[in-house]
Amino acid sequence: MTDRVVLRRCVAGALETNTWVVRAPDSRDALLVDPGDDPERLAAEVQDLRIQGIVLTHAHWDHVLALPLLAELVDAPVLAHPAATEVWAHELEQARKQGHWDAGTATGELLPTGLLDLDPGRRLWDGRIDGELADGQELVVGGLVVRVVHTPGHTPDGVTLAMPGHLLTGDTLFPGGPGLTGWPLSDFDTIMTSVEHLLTAYDVAVGIHPGHGDSTTVGAEAPSLQAWRARGW
């Protein structure tokens, strides 16, 4: 087992989702987290590695659009919390009803760009999970232990991946606060319970790597917990 981690970040899709590739330094075995878009490009970026699993931090469209093609290209199972099936079904239903993908508070700004358009030629994920993730479960990849932490609130299926020195938080925790809870199936009190756990259970030096944008640390964010609760978002 190793306490060293190599993280690779690829940015893909309309909402510039961070796709994370996680491995031990001396192994080609890796996990790919949140396949946002561009399946061919993502597959090319990991062609030097053996992808053991494609992990979803949650099943919002901007984290899964590269499925199912990417899963075929890298020949890896899709691993997610069982509630991902419900979240994805809701995403599809809303998109088909509205005629475009939802981008939360950014929807109005992004709609005219065409970035939220449904591409009728695109094969979409069928919501099938090859391996269900549970809180406390450990994924071992090339000697690296990656622990699953159920962190609902942004969505019911939200998971954070914890490994030595690093947390991949999906849309649960960003620099400056929790992820959005204005989406359907979201809940502010629930996400704050998840965020408080992450900011109190891990060392201040641990890195926080979210589903969009820049990384931060536990120590940089923990002092703001009460302020976030007070402002209510």
Helix (H) or strand (E) holding 27: none
Return the residues of window 171-190 that contact Zn ion according to CB under 5 A: 171
Residue with tokens 């989406």: 183
Among 19, 43, 61, 62, binds Zn ion (CB under 5 A): 62
Return the residues of window 130-159 that contact Zn ion according to CB under 5 A: none
Secondary structure of residue 145 in the 3-state scheme: strand
Least Cβ distance, residue 15 to Zn ion (angstroms): 6
Nearer to Zn ion, 39 or 211 (CB): 211
Assess 37 for contact with Zn ion (CB under 5 A).
no
Among 22, 54, 60, 152, binds Zn ion (CB under 5 A): 60
Torsion of CA 147, 148, 153, 156, to 10 degrees: 180
Q: State how far the alpha carbon of 17 is from the alpha carbons of 14, 143, 203, in Å.
A: 8, 27, 26
Please give the Cα distance from 43 to 86 (Å, whole number): 27
Nearer to Zn ion, 191 or 199 (CB): 191
Please give the Cα distance from 20 to 65 (Å, whole number): 15
Nearer to Zn ion, 144 or 208 (CB): 208
Segment near Zn ion (CB under 5 A), from 58-66, 81-89, 119-127, 128-136?
58-66
Binding site for Zn ion (CB under 5 A): 60, 62, 171, 211
